[in-house]
């Protein structure tokens, strides 16, 4: 069984840019996904999430999502302490 590999936001954006080049060469999506080493579901999820972003924008998005999750946890803890 293959191990699951996590890609950084920058890697995802680079792979999506490579996919755009391959699709412009009239390859089908399945062939592009095989070349990138990801499933079609992963490709489409990445396309929806990171479609129009540049690498630095994707990194900033992930940082903000992480910070938001931390703040939500802190707020929930503070609300529980009030009760």
Sequential pLDDT tens for the chain (83 residues): 466 778 888 889 899 999 999 999 988 999 999 999 999 999 999 999 888 777 788 888 889 999 999 999 999 999 999 87
Which two tokens mark 57? Answer: 């924008």
**Buried-exposed string 39-48: b where 16+ CB fall within 10 A, e elsewhere:** eeeebeebee
| pTM for the structure as a whole | 0.66
């Amino acid at each position: 069984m293959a191990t699951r590999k996590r890609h950084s936001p920058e890697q995802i954006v680079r792979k999506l840019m490579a996919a755009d080049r391959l699709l412009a060469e009239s390859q089908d999506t399945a062939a592009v996904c095989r070349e990138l080493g990801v499933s079609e579901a992963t490709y489409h999820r990445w396309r929806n999430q990171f479609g129009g972003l540049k690498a630095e924008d994707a990194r900033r998005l992930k940082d903000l999502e992480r910070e938001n999750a931390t703040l939500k946890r802190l707020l929930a803890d503070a609300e529980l302490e009030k009760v």
